Amino acid sequence: MNMFASTLYRIMEWITRFAYVQLLWICFTFFGFVILGFFPSTAAMFAVVRDWIRGKTDIRIFKTYWNYFKTDFFKANLFGIPIISITLLIGINVYYIQIDISEHLTWTYIPLFAFMFLFTLLLFYLFPVFVHYDLKIFKVIKNTFLIMLISPIHSLLIVISLVSLFWLMKSIPALAFIFGGSIYAFITMWLSMHAFRSIERKKGSV
């Protein structure tokens, strides 16, 4: 019975942690009026999750989150500029193709959707690389791209995990509001750190 109670307590403790970080992510995003808050708030969420994965489960969540948020506020917003720019560019191209479905544009579908697929994979690694390595913005993007290319198995596992998570939260929409962002951060951060360690071991064996 004690073991059951202890296990139940641990489960409830982790549920509370994920829900709390999700709440902080939402609040700090709006604290920065969304535009200036989304990227530093998301980076702070990934950084807290990274601490958990590294065994620092006893950290003071609000204090740690706030420290990451304010420390990386400007860098994270600069980091967001190329991401937003590429996303807008993709959106414009997709919109243009939809309103002009003439045959001479059909050849653009394959390269555009291939680029969209690669960019989506890149997004999965961007925040984990941003919080795990102390790099300049350009090197964050460059290293993220290289890690994505040489980690196909981890990329596949991320896709499978997130698709499963999507269908679960589609079935129970309330879960997306309570845990969506924090669970996404945990899955991508955990698998990304495995990719980082794999790459570091390969470098060490050379």
Q: What is the pTM assigned to this prediction?
A: 0.93
> Please, what is the average pLDDT of the chain?
91
Cβ-contact 69, 40 below 8 angstroms = yes
pLDDT digits (tens, 9 = 90+) for 29-85: 999 889 999 999 999 999 999 999 999 999 999 999 999 999 999 999 999 999 999
Would you state the pLDDT for residue 79? 95
Average pLDDT over residues 74-97: 91
Using CA atoms, how far apart are residues 188 and 160, in angstroms rounded to an integer? Answer: 11
pLDDT digits (tens, 9 = 90+) for 181-192: 999 999 999 999
Would you state the pLDDT for residue 106? 60
Q: Residue 83's closest CA among 131, 32, 124?
A: 124
